[in-house]
Structure 1
Amino acid sequence: MGEEIRYCPVEKALAVISGKWKPYIFRYLTGQTKRFGELQRALPHVTRKTLTQQLREMEEDGVVIRKVYPQVPPKVEYSLSDYGKTLIPVMSSLSSWGQVHSKRDNHARDNQPDG
């Protein structure tokens, strides 16, 4: 018999927020609606294709709402869904932990003996 595949809630949660640009997208959408171009300008190092892909994944996971206005040129806005807003305290906690870890990591490196 094969190995039993176990459900891991942490892995499921990380799948929603993992991706090089998702934390940045999440940060820019927290508390505000942004047009695609605004997101692209805020993240100049991400390609249009990658930004579109990350936004689609976030939309599929239900954390982002994409609203298309029927006009020419097309107007598309992105915002956090109510479900996505439940991630705000999670992302805030991760950010705080990351800051502590970064300081700890830097302190450990600074105290390494010269070799």
Structure 2
Amino acid sequence: MGSTQVDSPVTPETCSVTRTLSFVGSKWTPLVIFHLLPGAKRYGELQHLLPGISPKTLADRLQTLEGEGLLTRTVHPDKPPRVEYALTRRGRELGEILDSIAAWAES
């Protein structure tokens, strides 16, 4: 899809928009991104900001977002070690798109 005309069949598996919306639409993912937009957060901060998310689900979402290049995980050599999560440039771009979708949904 997109702005280019496609003459071949498009399926949900080959459509980049469908794949992206499926990924972004997974439970908790947009909320994790929204809470990281203002800046880096620690795991405990995110868990506090997302009441109802299980520790396993939060860890899974953070790992998936990191694997997709949307956030970075930084381990600071403090005692005890401090881990922070922050959006990458690509993650911030997606956050801006999600802001636009939220504005559209609320209009």
With normalisation by structure 2, the TM-score equals 0.81
1:21 to 28, 35, 41: 28
**Residues in 2 aligned to 1:67 and 1:34: alpha-carbon distance in whole angstroms:** 10
1:64 corresponds in structure 2 to: 71
**Residues in 2 aligned to 1:30 and 1:85: alpha-carbon distance in whole angstroms:** 6
2:46 corresponds in structure 1 to: 39
2:82 corresponds in structure 1 to: 75
CA contact (8 A) 1:67 1:77 kept: yes
Which structure shows the higher helix fraction?
Answer: 1
Over 3 Å counting, the alpha-carbon distance change for 1:67 and 1:15 in structure 2 is farther
CA RMSD for the aligned pairs? Answer: 1.9
1:91 corresponds in structure 2 to: 98
**Residues in 1 aligned to 2:102 and 2:38: alpha-carbon distance in whole angstroms:** 17
SS at match of 1:86: helix
1:8 to 15, 22, 38: 15
Gaps of at least 5 residues in structure 2 are 1-9
**Residues in 1 aligned to 2:39 and 2:81: alpha-carbon distance in whole angstroms:** 20
SS at match of 1:87: helix
Identity of paired residues, percent? 35
Cα-to-partner distance string for 1:47-71 (whole Å, 9 max, x where unaligned): 1111000110111111111111123
1:54 corresponds in structure 2 to: 61
Shift of 1:88: 2.7
**Residues in 1 aligned to 2:67 and 2:23: alpha-carbon distance in whole angstroms:** 10
Shift of 1:90: 1.1
Shift of 1:14: 1.6
CA contact (8 A) 1:19 1:54 kept: no
**What amino acid sits opposite 1:29 in the alignment?**
L
Matched residue count: 98
With normalisation by structure 1, the TM-score equals 0.76
**Residues in 1 aligned to 2:36 and 2:101: alpha-carbon distance in whole angstroms:** 17
